[in-house]
Amino acid sequence: MVRIEFSKLRFLVIDDNAHMRRILRTLLHGFGAREAYEAEDGASGLEAFSHYLPDIVITDWAMPIFDGIELTQMIRQPGANVNPYVPIIMLSGHSEKKRVTAARDAGVTEFLAKPISAKGLYERIVNVVASPRPFIKTKTYFGPDRRRSVNPNYVGPERRKGGKADIIRQVALLDKVRAPGG
pLDDT of 161 reads 55
Q: Which residues contact 28 (CB under 8 A, 6 or more apart)?
A: 6, 11, 13, 36
What is the model's pLDDT at position 81? 82
How would you class 75 by CB atoms within 10 Å of its CB: exposed for 0-12, middle for 13-18, buried for 19 or more?
buried
Give the global pTM.
Answer: 0.85
Model pLDDT for residues 105-127, shown as the tens digit of each residue:
999 999 999 999 999 999 999 99
Confidence (pLDDT) at 129: 92
pLDDT of res. 4: 86
Residues of the chain with pLDDT below 70 are 1, 148-166, 168-182
Domain boundaries, the chain: 6-177
pLDDT given at position 104? 93
Say if residues 142 and 107 touch (Cβ distance below 8 Å).
yes
Say which CATH architecture domain 6-177 belongs to: 3-Layer(aba) Sandwich (3.40)
Percent helix, percent strand, percent coil in the chain, to nearest 5: 35, 20, 45
